[in-house]
């Protein structure tokens, strides 16, 4: 176990993920009477510390999510600054993200059950619906649009909870840093057609992204993926969507109708609110002989990731022994003074900087070592390959 590092009033226990702009740590917070809690700390990288636009975006994220209190949205506890670095203290979700679940299913050569996919997406929609309808203290609509709904931004806990994370590029009427006209932000394969065109966005853009996620969960194939970023954008713009039952005939017709309506090219032809998607998904779920619940999801997750779960459980037990000064019984105090980046590990392959449920740093290093060992250059994803994580993307201009 690596040495914990003091960080203001917190202890950094382990790095969860690192990207080009921020890094996320598993951390411990303290209170009176021996109170302790494992949380996540999202911290701006030193290299981004002077980037005022990014710092504004980072602060905006905290301000937006700080106003949201919903069971399906990851909670933020604090926006702070320590040793010159801005950070967000947030809820730690002990579990996996949807991208990891999709890849585990592929490894097991299994299709995601329709009930499981519908349950997951319904919970995501409940969180989005709350955000879309949120008003400020004066009753004015905040007009929040997530703009980055993708599998790596959906976390599932071992207790069956579903949480939406990463409002880092969310649009809200009150944002201090406005999105520049003609700039695309988000993950290309999960954008809406209007997002690709750089047009004004509303909640229905998130609905299209939800449709893409549900499609991929049930077909085990990427919907919009090309050999280049621009070819992917072109696929999204054209909305060339084969009916999902052509890919997987076991998808219920009622669910296919939900998917195709969410993926309508024209926003006016889609569902207008996430609550409408929830109602249709729940109608399907309630029609089944055995109702899929959070307990069902938890049971599946614990079985599919049994080895990971035991390893993580042992790690959490070890973290309990960490003292308030970052010391572990039997470890000399001098060893607690090591540099955070050097001691917790150097950056591996770039990850989405806000993925709380992502791989451990050891996994990142292992993936990087495997990539260096492979002589062949990376190739476009083909059916049967793993779902690959799209990093943060930004491109100027419009696909016409």
Q: What pLDDT shows up at residue 27?
A: 94
Phi-psi region of 168 (alpha: psi -120 to 50; beta: other; left: phi over 0): alpha
pLDDT tens-digit map of 260-308: 999 999 999 999 999 999 999 999 999 999 999 999 999 999 999 999 9
Residue located via tokens 């790690």: 315
**Diameter of the chain measured on Cα atoms:** 65
Phi-psi region of 57 (alpha: psi -120 to 50; beta: other; left: phi over 0): alpha
Residue 128 pLDDT level (bands cut at 50, 70, 90): very high
Q: What pLDDT shows up at residue 346?
A: 32
Provide the sign of the torsion angle of the four alpha carbons 255, 258, 260, 262, taken in this order. Answer: negative
Least confident interval from 38-52, 157-171, 371-385: 371-385
Beta-carbon neighbour count of residue 397 at 10 Å? 10
Residue 398 pLDDT level (bands cut at 50, 70, 90): very low
Residue located via tokens 């951390």: 27
| CA–CA distance, 3 with 236 (Å, rounded to integer) | 46
Domains of the chain: 5-94+306-373 (3.30.200.20), 96-299 (1.10.510.10)
| CA–CA distance, 242 with 251 (Å, rounded to integer) | 13
- Catalytic residue (choose from 148, 166, 280, 352): 148
| CA count, 13 A, side-chain hemisphere, 73 | 25
Burial class from Cβ neighbours inside 10 Å (0-12, 13-18, 19+) for residue 297 reads buried
| CA–CA distance, 388 with 365 (Å, rounded to integer) | 16
Q: What pLDDT shows up at residue 322?
A: 72
Instruction: Let me know if 129 is a catalytic residue.
Output: no
Beta-carbon neighbour count of residue 241 at 10 Å? 17
Q: What pLDDT shows up at residue 376?
A: 45
DSSP state of 29: E
Contact 30, 39 (CB under 8 A): no
Residue 58: is its pLDDT beyond 60?
A: yes
pLDDT tens-digit map of 69-83: 999 999 999 989 988
């Amino acid at each position: 176990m690596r040495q914990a590092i003091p960080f203001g009033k917190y202890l950094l226990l382990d790095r969860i993920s690192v990207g080009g702009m921020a890094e996320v740590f598993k951390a411990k917070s303290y209170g009176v009477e021996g109170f302790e809690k494992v949380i996540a700390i999202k911290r701006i990288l030193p290299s981004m510390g002077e980037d005022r636009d990014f710092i504004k975006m980072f602060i905006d994220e905290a301000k937006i999510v700080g106003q949201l209190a919903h069971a399906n949205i990851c909670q933020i506890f604090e926006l702070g600054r320590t040793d010159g670095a801005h950070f967000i203290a947030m809820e730690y979700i002990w579990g996996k993200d949807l991208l990891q679940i999709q890849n585990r299913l592929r490894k097991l050569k299994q299709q995601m059950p329709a009930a499981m996919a519908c349950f997951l997406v319904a919970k995501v929609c409940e969180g989005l619906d709350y955000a879309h309808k949120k008003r400020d203290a004066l009753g004015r609509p905040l007009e929040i649009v997530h703009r980055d709904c993708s599998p790596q931004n959906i976390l599932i806990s071992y207790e069956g909870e579903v949480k939406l994370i990463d409002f880092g590029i969310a649009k809200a009427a009150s944002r201090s840093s406005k999105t520049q006209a003609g700039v695309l932000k988000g993950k290309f394969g999960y954008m809406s057609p209007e997002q690709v065109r750089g047009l004004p966005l509303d909640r229905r853009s998130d609905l299209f992204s939800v449709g893409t996620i549900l499609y991929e969960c049930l077909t085990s194939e990427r919907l919009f993926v090309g050999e280049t970023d621009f070819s992917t954008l072109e696929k999204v713009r054209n909305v060339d969507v084969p009916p999902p039952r052509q890919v997987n005939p076991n998808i219920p017709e009622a669910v296919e109708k939900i998917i195709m309506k969410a993926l309508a090219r024209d926003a006016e032809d889609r569902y207008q609110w996430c609550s409408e998607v929830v109602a249709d998904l729940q109608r399907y779920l309630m029609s089944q002989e055995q109702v899929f619940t959070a307990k069902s999801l938890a049971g599946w997750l614990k079985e599919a990731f049994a080895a990971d779960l035991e390893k993580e459980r042992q790690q959490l037990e070890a973290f309990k022994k960490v003292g308030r000064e970052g010391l572990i019984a039997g470890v000399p105090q001098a060893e607690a003074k090591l540099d955070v980046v050097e001691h917790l590990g150097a950056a591996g392959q770039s990850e989405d900087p806000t993925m709380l449920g992502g791989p451990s740093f050891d996994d990142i290093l292992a993936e990087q070592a495997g990539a260096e060992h492979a002589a062949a250059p990376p190739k476009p994803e083909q059916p049967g390959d793993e779902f690959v994580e799209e990093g943060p993307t930004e491109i100027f201009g419009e696909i016409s």
